[in-house]
Structure 1
Amino acid sequence: MDQPKAKPPEITQAMINAYDEYTHLTLDRRSFMQKLRTLAGSGAAAAAIAPLLAASQAAAEIVPANDARLTTTDLTFRGAPGDIKAYAAMPKDATKLPAVIVIHENRGLNDHIRDVTRRMALEGFLAVAPDFLSPSGGTPDDEDKAREMIGAISPDIYGANTVAAVEFLKTHANSTGNVGAIGFCWGGGQVNRLASLSPDLKAGVAYYGAQAKAEDVPKIQAALMLHYAGLDDRINAGIDAYRKELEANKKDFQIFVYEGVNHAFNNDTSAARYNKEAADLAWSRTVEFLKQKLG
């Protein structure tokens, strides 16, 4: 006789908030698991829930790395203080395409971001995902270590290297010279900042990213599309002030808030936070926007 399937553990908003605090703020791994045990009711339940909150790299591949429709390669470009490693993808046999920088989350350049890069390439772009942990030796396999490394590199270095990525793609042999950027979480914040640093960036798409500082908004020349998760109180606290500054400075921008979904709703490797409906809608808006602004 077949045994009934085990009921999946219940994941509450408080658990998701605790994970967000762990991955973005001050909660360390031990404190997070203690908090999760309290919320879940037992150590066993916490152990079952933790992997569902985290990203699973086993689920990272939607477009295969060897997809016959694409040409992919690893490359480097000059940054600060040295070379920046990157992963690139473009439609096979394409010649000149608008270019899109894909900026990773605070986990660094992992398989999920490589997959997103391939998805962007299939939309008709030269897509390049720099490893912004290159100054520290590159993205490690350990995500906790990657998050520590992200915080150890200065904002000035990140700024210089995002600008260097724009400069690199402006003159790339397969680029039309029109460059945009898309970023997620930490990378979304970097898109907002890059828009204030590079007059050559034509379009930026930030997914649940920290907003640019008010004093930097006048320097923004790129068109912006900003995606936010309705339940993401931490990031959303800055929306109104950012909107006000963008409007006051007559910037080209669009803001979309997806109600009832969590930070990282686009990351399909995180079972608890991914929301397919919101992710698909945001992606379709993103692709249309980038095609319109980059040609």
Structure 2
Amino acid sequence: MANEAKPRACELGDRMQYGGRGQEVQIEHFRSYVAKPPAPSGRAVIVIHDIYGWQLPNTRYIADMLAANGYVAVCPDFYVGKDPWGPTSDWSKFQEWLEDRQATGINREVDAVLRYLKEECGANRVGSVGFCWGGVAAHHLALHYPEIKAGVSVYGIIRDREDRFELKSPVLFIFAEKDVVVPLEQVNVLEARLKEKCTVDYRVKIFPDQSHGFVHRKREDINPADKPHIQEARSDMLNWLNKYM
């Protein structure tokens, strides 16, 4: 993530091959993965990828899960054709790589996705879900896009802006107790300041014994002890979206 010299990101998620049930489409100047529900619902979710990019099978798995629960799920390439981070990338160059991939610099793409969802998918209620880098982006959208009705930021927060506690739409923040990328000290500050500053609904939830990347691991059966936490976090995500959308 943006504030760490060497983040331990979602390669800890026991990746496996997953082709996805949706399709890749062009939305204005970038590609996106789109998964649609069995029947139109008027509801959609912008799924915001982590540093491994829009083609990561884990993220497409989550998009398909959202579609199965009644949402059009669109996962745009927010790097707009630039290379995502890779499993063998040199962590000493992470900050240099990140310079032109800021999670708070995606407004042009978000605006295009909102147009697409309204004009092409008939969506009249839109939420967002983001992981790691995408969690920072989901936090950003909650500060600047009141038309996005609900957000879920999964192990990602904005840490360096004064207005970061003044949410315009409800947000569920999901964190892992043993996350070295977003340590509990920062989570505690977030929760305390939201209590002081925030005027909309929010929730901060910490999952015990979990590490960064746990929510969008696909092979949850690899670690049976983690499976209940993964399932609970995904249920929390769906319940939050359903509540406000």
- State the TM-score, normalizing by the size of structure 2: 0.81
Which residue number corresponds to residue 252 of structure 1?
201
Which segments of 5 or more consecutive residues in structure 2 lack a partner in the other structure?
A: none
Which residue number corresponds to residue 4 of structure 1?
none
SS at match of 2:151: strand
Rounded to whole Å, the distance in 1 between the matches of 2:176 and 2:224 is 10
The superposition leaves residues 247-275 of structure 1 with CA deviations (integer Å, 9 ceiling, x where unpaired) of: 22323101111111111112325757992
More helix by share: 1
Match of 2:126 among 132, 156, 179: 179
| Aligned positions, number | 235
SS at match of 1:275: helix
Rounded to whole Å, the distance in 2 between the matches of 1:200 and 1:101 is 13
Which residue number corresponds to residue 87 of structure 2?
143
Equivalent residues in 2 for 1:22-171, closer than 5 Å = 25-27=4-6, 54-57=12-15, 59-61=16-18, 65-66=20-21, 72-78=22-28, 83-92=29-38, 94-109=39-54, 110-136=56-82, 139=84, 142-145=86-89, 148=94, 151-155=98-102, 158-161=105-108, 163-164=110-111, 167-171=114-118
Aligned-CA RMSD value:
3.3
Match of 1:289 among 233, 240, 243: 240
SS at match of 1:155: coil
The superposition leaves residues 36-67 of structure 1 with CA deviations (integer Å, 9 ceiling, x where unpaired) of: xxxxxxxxxxxxxxxxx64554x243xx634x
Deviation at 1:165, TM superposition (A): 5.0
Which residue number corresponds to residue 231 of structure 2?
280
Match of 1:197 among 141, 144, 149: 144
- State the TM-score, normalizing by the size of structure 1: 0.68
Distance 1:247 1:214, change over 3 A: farther
Task: Tell me: higher relative CO, structure 1 or 2? Use CA pairs within 8 A at least 6 residues apart.
Answer: 2
Distance 1:54 1:156, change over 3 A: closer
Deviation at 1:84, TM superposition (A): 2.0
Q: Which AA in structure 1 matches 2:189?
A: A
SS at match of 2:30: strand
Distance 1:170 1:199, change over 3 A: farther
Which residue number corresponds to residue 268 of structure 1?
217
Distance 1:274 1:251, change over 3 A: farther
Which residue number corresponds to residue 187 of structure 2?
239
Deviation at 1:177, TM superposition (A): 1.7
Deviation at 1:167, TM superposition (A): 2.5
Name whichever of 118-127 and 173-182 sits farther off. Answer: 173-182
The superposition leaves residues 165-223 of structure 1 with CA deviations (integer Å, 9 ceiling, x where unpaired) of: 55335523323321111111111111111211222211110111123545223652111
Which segments of 5 or more consecutive residues in structure 1 lack a partner in the other structure?
A: 1-19, 33-52, 67-71
Rounded to whole Å, the distance in 2 between the matches of 1:287 and 1:108 is 22
Name whichever of 230-239 and 276-285 sits farther off. Answer: 230-239
Deviation at 1:283, TM superposition (A): 0.6
Rounded to whole Å, the distance in 2 between the matches of 1:86 and 1:274 is 34
Instruction: Please tell me whether Structure 1 or Structure 2 has the larger radius of gyration of its CA atoms.
Output: 1
